[in-house]
Structure 1
């Protein structure tokens, strides 16, 4: 039986040994088993020192705390012999923190040097899981270590050079060739560097169970790989690797692209797939406040938590993710917002200083999302800020198939998707659909299927067996494609149809003009030709140039077709016109194949023959847009019409066109007969009578004008045939398109 005493002096307390007198334990005793009671037994390494009285054992403060010992308390002690076959340590994992929590330091502790110092001080010591250790390292603040895990060495495996799975033990003896790993205690402000850190301290940045299917994201594999490579590659490695390379982590990421392509969904899922704190999601307009200085304060609050942790934990700080939805609302070009309050500018300045200012934060990742990258301040897009800019564009056919597969997975799982639904076919039919529009298509098809089991009468009744019968079929998808869901970056069928309500009348050179136009359309589609082709159709008023241009655009079969018409811009200022036209060209660049139909260029430019007068801003915009090529991998066809070719030549705009097609007036009798026959407004006898009348004179008329005159005969049904013919011939004379021979 022995009594508890303090360590004789401070130096002995840092040896982590119990201090005994050689009269009590011979010098060959290295380890002692301390028995406090039957449930409390501890094994300690022994150090002999004559400054301790015989009959006493000296314990340092943390050992007394561990075993709950009081001074002069009687305890049982006996020598301990370990088993060298099973109780040698292969790997020792230690959890580190400051010994005195109030006395912390921002100094970094190099774990490689700590291992060397630890082995010098404590080799051949015994360790038990949960045992506390006081550790003095160089001239830094002393540390408290807790034995977290012990893996046993296997002498037989070492002798036979065979690898066996390591097994954990509760007690062991540290060997000179043992591996020591340090890891930081949870919530500790200790900064550890070096290679001898826990094996999972950095590589566990990503969750182990994430995949694209579970995320509900399809068609964005390449974008995800690019983001992971640029934004997170440096964060997987220990902080000292980036220090050795002399680089800082990427702190900003901008996702841009058309609405509905998955920008917000991707940003949210990036936060979920990381083992980081819950991301802060902020809608851009929420930052703005009516009180002076409050908007800037809102920005500072977003970064306050990251700043505080960076000060305490340095490079070992966790990752803080801040997501700005519609970031263009608060980060417009400085000086571009009217008014003298300057709130927008100061908010941009505050955000710039927080991301990459004088006091740089290295533990943040700012993710911004916008549909209008061109509106954002350029300073925010430079390296060091939102330096990674990823375009989230429209999905290709494979991407659309992936999205449809994800959105119909529940249907398939519950046997509600009919076997006749071929998702590959649906993917091929949905060109230029965004992810949101594909989701809308699946919802619309589901609604179409549900409607079959709703009976409308005096009451709305639901088929009681609908749950068992319900299946979404191919016809539901096709119906929804034709009637419910149209892509915002798709074909403008309604606008095009207005130009070709009467169809294309085949007279004289019309067939040749159509073939020539379709040849240019084929040229615009070919991968071997230039990425931009501008085609101009010129002709006098009512010659049918707009109808022919609309026909070529519609038959180009391009997934993106938009119409720019002067009628839609009535009352627009010059800047508004430029903005509208530029927006349509920007949208066109997001599609692989795009066609833009611009009708009446001189009207779009505001040209007036009296003066003459035109709007120079729109002219500059036209020249710039028609002359510039689309981004790499995109093809653009621009079809324009004009009634005044000479005006375009005078303004220098004619040189921007690849080819010019002239649409002539009707000037031959046989062509008049062809139009009359195809319009079916007159009977064959009436056509013969009209041709007999106009054979003694000359005709010069546009096909659109002629069809308009024929419409007047359609309301004269039941009128005598001779009167109808006479009325039509008089109309031709009155309108000046027929000149009788004198």
Structure 2
């Protein structure tokens, strides 16, 4: 392609760039087929431009950049996927969050061992919207960006349900095994199992699938193979000389998961508490919301009305209040929040009555 003058000089420069922003580093985890797809994608952009402007069809750096956005490797990390899970960042609005972040950083830290290691952790939300998913995604992204993990996967119940073979227990178990098998071949992998209670859901009395729980138990007790070279993806420069490691972080918003079946599957359990103090809510809003609002009034209002609340719920309620005030010019965001909280409390009470019946 290069010899046939099919590439512009800036495209050649990108390909020959050996730095982190060069083509080599950015396609580190591409398979041969994926690289071929990348080339075809860039060529299609160049061809489309040539047809529109009667050009020469030469592939430019811009074509390669567009192709990199379109073609993603099956292996490697998922930094973009992870960041979507914590769009506001992770605010250190309370001592509990600071502690949990320290715990997660320690959990994903490099393991110095003479044999391959697999470590697991269950992150339990103290209630809906506590932020366990966001914290797990943040921990995985930090491990990826710092070079502690060279393979990261964020797996949801939908990923398992839609795998080949359908949604039966055996098919779901097979899909989970396949995800772990791929990770086990990498040098230093990290898997996030989001909503593990849904991934392992079943028709038994406790709400879990015996097959899924048994499969997960076996997977969490099987370290990666003792091999010095991974099949794909390469080794992280920051971790040369280390044995293979695999870290698994599972999340759930079911507080009872810390006490029943799922808890005993994992080596560690961390509980993400709900917010119960106005100053914590105030810090969260201040650090996460750019729009000017009466933070003190909103924080006190939320705690007075809800008593305890998840950080995700706080941000959702405040965003709705800001939006409402933006379209109803005669009300402030605090006034809008007051009405929203009243409706929210009524909805929660009705849901509780329905569930009780």
The TM-score by the shorter chain falls in which range? Answer: 0.7 to 0.9
Distance 2:220 2:37 in 1: 35
Which one of the candidate residues 27, 30, 33 is aligned to 1:436? 33
Q: Deviations over 1:269-294 (max 9, x none)?
A: xxxxxxxxxxxxxxxxxxxxxxxxxx
Q: Deviations over 1:361-408 (max 9, x none)?
A: xxxxxxxxxxxxxxxxxxxxxxxxxxxxxxxxxxxxxxxxxxxxxxxx
Q: Deviations over 1:216-275 (max 9, x none)?
A: xxxxxxxxxxxxxxxxxxxxxxxxxxxxxxxxxxxxxxxxxxxxxxxxxxxxxxxxxxxx
Which one of the candidate residues 325, 331, 335 is aligned to 1:723? 335
Alignment of 1:331-410 (within 5 A): 410=1
In structure 2, relative to structure 1, the CA distance for the partners of 1:530 and 1:715 (3 Å cut) is farther
Bigger share in helix: 2
In structure 2, relative to structure 1, the CA distance for the partners of 1:423 and 1:437 (3 Å cut) is farther
Deviation of the 1:586 alpha carbon: 1.7
1:602 and 2:197 matched: yes
Indicate the larger mover: 413-422 or 580-589. 413-422
1:515 and 2:106 matched: no
Distance 2:257 2:285 in 1: 33
Deviation of the 1:697 alpha carbon: 8.2
Q: Which 5+ residue runs of structure 2 have no aligned equivalent?
A: 229-243, 350-357
Deviation of the 1:667 alpha carbon: 1.3
Instruction: Give the structure 1 partner of residue 151 of structure 2.
Output: 560
In structure 2, relative to structure 1, the CA distance for the partners of 1:439 and 1:687 (3 Å cut) is same
Tell me the TM-score normalised to structure 1 length: 0.38
Contact 1:539–1:644, Cα closer than 8 Å, also in 2: yes
Distance 1:643 1:624 in 2: 23
1:420 and 2:13 matched: yes
State how many pairs are aligned: 312
In structure 2, relative to structure 1, the CA distance for the partners of 1:516 and 1:700 (3 Å cut) is same
Which one of the candidate residues 626, 629, 638 is aligned to 2:220? 626
In structure 2, relative to structure 1, the CA distance for the partners of 1:584 and 1:661 (3 Å cut) is same
Q: Secondary structure at the match of 1:432?
A: coil
Distance 2:278 2:81 in 1: 33
Distance 2:291 2:343 in 1: 15
Contact 1:709–1:731, Cα closer than 8 Å, also in 2: no
In structure 2, relative to structure 1, the CA distance for the partners of 1:719 and 1:417 (3 Å cut) is same
Tell me the TM-score normalised to structure 2 length: 0.73
In structure 2, relative to structure 1, the CA distance for the partners of 1:576 and 1:644 (3 Å cut) is same
Which one of the candidate residues 641, 646, 651 is aligned to 2:251? 641
Instruction: Give the structure 2 partner of residue 712 of structure 1.
Output: 320
Q: Deviations over 1:7-43 (max 9, x none)?
A: xxxxxxxxxxxxxxxxxxxxxxxxxxxxxxxxxxxxx
1:504 and 2:90 matched: yes
Instruction: Give the structure 1 partner of residue 289 of structure 2.
Output: 680
Contact 2:317–2:337, Cα closer than 8 Å, also in 1: no
Q: Secondary structure at the match of 1:716?
A: helix
In structure 2, relative to structure 1, the CA distance for the partners of 1:607 and 1:663 (3 Å cut) is farther
Contact 2:306–2:345, Cα closer than 8 Å, also in 1: no
Deviation of the 1:623 alpha carbon: 0.2
Instruction: Give the structure 1 partner of residue 275 of structure 2.
Output: 666
Instruction: Give the structure 2 partner of residue 539 of structure 1.
Output: 125
Deviation of the 1:693 alpha carbon: 5.1
Deviation of the 1:624 alpha carbon: 0.6
In structure 2, relative to structure 1, the CA distance for the partners of 1:615 and 1:682 (3 Å cut) is same
Contact 2:276–2:307, Cα closer than 8 Å, also in 1: yes
Bigger share in strand: 1
Distance 1:555 1:523 in 2: 13
CA RMSD of aligned residues (A): 3.4
Contact 1:432–1:591, Cα closer than 8 Å, also in 2: no
Structure with max Cα Rg:
1
Distance 1:563 1:549 in 2: 9
Q: Secondary structure at the match of 1:490?
A: coil
In structure 2, relative to structure 1, the CA distance for the partners of 1:589 and 1:698 (3 Å cut) is closer
Instruction: Give the structure 1 partner of residue 238 of structure 2.
Output: none
Distance 2:224 2:217 in 1: 14
Q: Secondary structure at the match of 1:562?
A: strand
1:575 and 2:170 matched: yes
